[in-house]
Amino acid sequence: MANEQLQEAIDALKSTKVRMTPQRHAILEYLYNSMSHPTADEIYKALEGKFPNMSVATVYNNLRVFKDVGIVKELTYGDSSSRFDCVTTEHYHVICSDCGKIVDFHYPGLNEVETLAEHVTGFKVDNHRMEVYGTCPDCSQQTQH
């Protein structure tokens, strides 16, 4: 159930000086219930029924607050807008080059890469980023006319 994790996120916020507001609750709720990787604008559009006066700046502001607290991760892609992920445990993404669909997957061992990079470059390595690109099943099927 996504509600447990939503509650955990709310509790995490309470332990800071960040106040819970209706807008914040709605943004978090949307993130946890959709379980997708929405853009700021998608969130904004999804909530404009409930909050006709909400500013898009509020969405951006709060996503940054959530990021700082650590309950949301930002996924940045070159051309288009950032996407936001409420699953903060380590996992990777497969992205469809056709339709943009993003799917989570897990892979155990990439720490080896970090260690090698440290040795080869002399950097003190903290973390890494990886995505896999391809064609999703839906798009593959459509191509086969």
Partner DNA sequence: TCTTACATTGTAATTCTTATAAATTATTTT
Partner DNA sequence: AAAATAATTTATAAGAATTACAATGTAAGA
Instruction: Name the residues that contact Mn ion, by CB under 5 A.
Output: 85, 87, 104
Residue type, 6: L
Give the end-to-end CA distance of the chain in Å, rounded to a whole number. Answer: 38
125 lines the binding site for DNA (CB under 7 A): no
Contacting residue, 29, 42, 98, 114, with Zn ion by CB under 5 A: 98
| Closer residue to Mn ion, CB minimum distance, 23 or 95 | 95
24 lines the binding site for DNA (CB under 7 A): yes
The number of beta carbons lying within 10 Å of the beta carbon of residue 15 is 8
102 lines the binding site for DNA (CB under 7 A): no
**Nearest alpha carbon to residue 65 among 30, 16, 22:** 16
- Specify whether the CB–CB gap between 93 and 136 falls below 8 A: no
Tokens 């839906």 appear where?
138
User: How far from chain centre, in Å, is Cα 61?
Assistant: 15
The overall longest dimension of the chain from CA atoms, in Å, is 56
- Footprint of a copy of itself on residues 5-34 (CB under 8 A)? none
- Footprint of a copy of itself on residues 67-96 (CB under 8 A)? 74, 76-79, 82, 92, 94, 96
Residue 86 assigned as binding residue: no
| Integer Cα distance of 53 and 56 in angstroms | 9
11 lines the binding site for DNA (CB under 7 A): no
Please give the residue ranges that form the binding site for a copy of itself (CB under 8 A). Answer: 74, 76-79, 82, 92, 94, 96-97, 103, 105-107, 110, 113-114, 116-118, 120-137, 140
Please give the residue ranges that form the binding site for DNA (CB under 7 A). Answer: 17-19, 21, 23-24, 39-41, 51, 53-58, 60-62, 64-65, 79-82
